[in-house]
Chains A and B, each alone.
Chain A
Amino acid sequence: MAVETGRSVAPAAGGDARGRGRGTGGAPGKTPGPLRRALATHWYAWAMVAPVVTVIGVIIGYPLVRGIYLSLTDADEANVARTIGVNEIDATYEFVGLDNYQAILTDGVFWDRLGWTVLWTVGCVSITFLLGLVLASMLNRKVRGRTVYRMALILPWGIPAFVSVFAWRMLYNEKNGILNQLLAGGGIDGIPWLGDPTWAKISVIAVNVWLGVPFMLVAMLGAMQGIPGELLEAAEMDGANAWQRFRNVVLPGIRSVSSTVILLSTIWTFNMFPVIFLLTRGGPGDSTEILVTYAYRLSFLVSPRDFASSAAWGVLILLLLSAFAVVYRRSLRKQGEVW
């Protein structure tokens, strides 16, 4: 019986709830008004999404609106509402319009940090992607010990990032860290991994790449294994060499997955807080400070805490990311991607 009716419902686009209402068995004679009908057909769906909509509205929507409002005020540690002992002190901050934004955008610090953040993001994502791609295509062959290699390679993913970062801090230790001791063994002077602005930048990128490759690798490997073997065989029959097969069969085959993971890892890297915060605290100076850690510094590390500016930095970061996501998506669409 399931088969018979199943067939009549199936054509209604991916089996949706409406399919039932307007399907073959519907009663066209007594159609209620469109609104009632919509409510009648969709109330299940709406009831099901209600919890998430509520939660998002209350704990994300409301703080978001408040954050945007705060960014338009001069709120700082001294004038927000707070409780000291039993005394409740009301907020005394005032609305200042776009002053914060103006101050940020006309100050060199923001543009410096933005420049480094972009460099950091592009550097991390491109190196991670390339390494992930290369390693995935290596693992996508018949190699003895594939499983062992695979397990070793995704190990960094399974360890909480902050733990790994501390491991790296130990390796990077300037006086006694093993990296410098190895260099000393080779007669090379130790490198101030985290003490010199340029080296610190290289070091944080290296750690983030190390953290990010496993995800890339697994994603790419999964995508590559999804390519039908016949396609590759056919290409081989036609005389395509390994490189040509890679370029013309494998790369297009993993396009939808790779564009997704690039978008995701760009966003993650742009906001990658723990690596910078725990490895260098943004230092030396503020040479490794990215936008997110700088916003954090404003509201939690400087004194007095500058909540308003921090919120404004947050809004700017969100705007930048949204703009990026929209542009990225549009360019994918132009190339005919579904997503």
Chain B
Amino acid sequence: MTGTTTPDPATTAPVPAAAVRGGNGRTGRVRGRGERGPLASAGLHAGLLLAAVTAVFPPLWLLVTSFKPKSDAFTTSLVENFTFANYDHVLNDTHFLTWFGNSVLIVLVTTFLGVFISATTGYAVSRFRFPGMRPLMWTLLITQMFPMAILIVPLYNLMAQLGLLNQPVGLIITYLTIAVPFCAWMMKGFFDTIPVAIDESGRVDGLNPFGTFWRLILPLAKPGIAVTGFYSFVTAWAEVAYASAFMTGEENLTLAGGLQTFVNQYTNDWGSMTAAAVIIAVPAMIVFGFAQRHLVAGLTAGATKS
């Protein structure tokens, strides 16, 4: 997939760039693109290693710290006195499990509804050209760039009037404002990758567009739907602004709000924070691990093809 040419096995030494440039390349060896000098190799590895360490270190340090006793939270050494005390404390003495449950409920319902509502739309904008399609595409795109600042106040007031503040339902409705346009947009990208010939054969066999969608395309689009679902899961799992504003009171917080309670201007419970952070990050990483290979394809395909 990298498209590297197979290098001539005989050529191991690097050819100076000048030789390739000047010497017409016919007489001697052609340097394969995968080859390079030992110095360049070392530089490449050094660069990548530095970047990789920078990328991994903060979460790794979080993990390491979570196994230290509270008093050691800021020691520079690796774990000296290994302990599960932080986890024990977080799981048993705080509202963490309640927050976790709140988050799971809200995020699962949001994801399910978001995917469910947007599937047909993704298909329609991928396959049909109909009056109103361009405005719809624009709306989907623009709503994705909506700052939450514009919706948060009216939504807050609305939820307050409907008595939905501190209710999971309120946050689910709010998250749908993010999930629906996003899911529709991403699914369009995935439906675009399914050959139109399949639809046509379905029509020939007498299926109407709904039938084609339901019986033929939807089964084929399952991976795309899964990825869309994963991604809206991860997005909602990590949402902070609405969650912090709409959910108050220890019992009602989601994870984003709950984690803030460990370290704020009043308390500095770094030990609990690290343990909680690790437990929050693990599900997200598992979900992300499934989806990551396809994420960017979905995101950019929709945008570049439209």
Contact = CB atoms under 8 A, between A and B. Distances in A.
Interface of A: 1-2, 5-6, 9-10, 13-18, 20, 38, 42, 44-49, 51-53, 55-56, 59-60, 63-64, 66-67, 70, 75, 80-83, 131, 134-135, 138-144, 148-149, 152-164, 166-171, 173, 175-178, 181-182, 210, 213-215, 218-219, 222-223, 225, 227-229, 232-233, 236-237, 239, 241-242, 256-257, 260-261, 263-264, 267, 270-271, 273-274, 277-278, 291-292, 295-296, 299-300, 307, 310-311, 313-315, 317-318, 321-322, 325, 338-339
A49 B303 contact: no
Interface string B110-134: 0000000110110111011111110
B284 A56 contact: no
A18 B284 contact: no
A187 B40 CA distance: 33
A339 B301 CA distance: 11
B interface majority secondary structure: helix
Given A152-B56, A154-B292, A314 B147 contact: yes
B201 A2 contact: yes
A142 B7 CA distance: 11
Nearest to A270: B147
Given A166-B273, A173-B74, A274-B241, A16 B48 contact: no
A56 B180 contact: yes
B200 A49 contact: no
Given A83-B161, A292-B147, A300-B245, 8 more contacts: A42-B128, A52-B121, A163-B259, A163-B281, A171-B61, A175-B74, A182-B76, A274-B241
B117 A156 contact: no
Contacts of A325: 142, 145
A159 B256 CA distance: 13
B176 to A, nearest CB: 6
Interface string B282-297: 0011001100100111
Contacts of B160: 80-83
B128 A260 contact: no
Interface of B: 1-5, 17, 20-22, 25, 30, 33-34, 36, 44-45, 47-49, 51-56, 58-59, 61-62, 65, 74, 76, 117-118, 120-121, 123-125, 127-133, 136, 139-140, 142-158, 160-161, 163, 173, 176-177, 180-181, 184, 196-197, 199-201, 203-205, 208-210, 213, 234, 237-238, 240-241, 244-245, 255-256, 259-260, 263, 270, 273-274, 277, 280-281, 284-285, 288-289, 292, 295-297, 299-300, 303-304, 306
Contacts of B263: 166, 169
B124 A45 contact: yes
List 3 A-B pairs, minimum CB-CB distance, nearest first.
A229-B3, A15-B196, A176-B74
A158 B62 contact: no
A222 B92 CA distance: 44
A277 B241 contact: yes
B106 to A, nearest CB: 14
B52 A152 contact: yes
B12 to A, nearest CB: 14
Nearest to A214: B55
A17 B296 contact: no
Contact of A159 (B59, B76, B152, B157): B59
A156 B52 CA distance: 10
Contacts of B213: 48
Contact of A60 (B2, B3, B177, B285): B177
Contacts of A219: 296, 299-300
B217 to A, nearest CB: 12
A256 B129 contact: no
Nearest to A5: B204
Contact of A59 (B33, B118, B173, B209): B173
Q: Which of B130, B176, B201, B289 neighbours the largest number of chain A CB atoms within 10 Å of its CB?
A: B130
A288 to B, nearest CB: 16
Contact of B284 (A81, A135, A159, A260): A159
Contacts of B120: 48-49, 51-52
B300 A261 contact: yes
Contact of A260 (B21, B55, B304): B304
Contacts of B132: 46, 49
B200 A6 contact: yes
17 contacts: A1-B204, A44-B209, A48-B121, A52-B118, A63-B151, A134-B47, A141-B2, A141-B36, A152-B53, A164-B59, A225-B1, A241-B17, A260-B300, A278-B260, A311-B150, A314-B147, A321-B145
A44 B300 contact: no
Contacts of A178: 61, 74, 76
B162 to A, nearest CB: 10
Nearest to A309: B153
B201 A6 contact: yes
Contact of A315 (B5, B142, B150): B150
Contacts of A63: 151, 154-155, 158, 177
Contacts of A274: 238, 240-241, 256
A142 B160 CA distance: 57
A149 B48 CA distance: 7
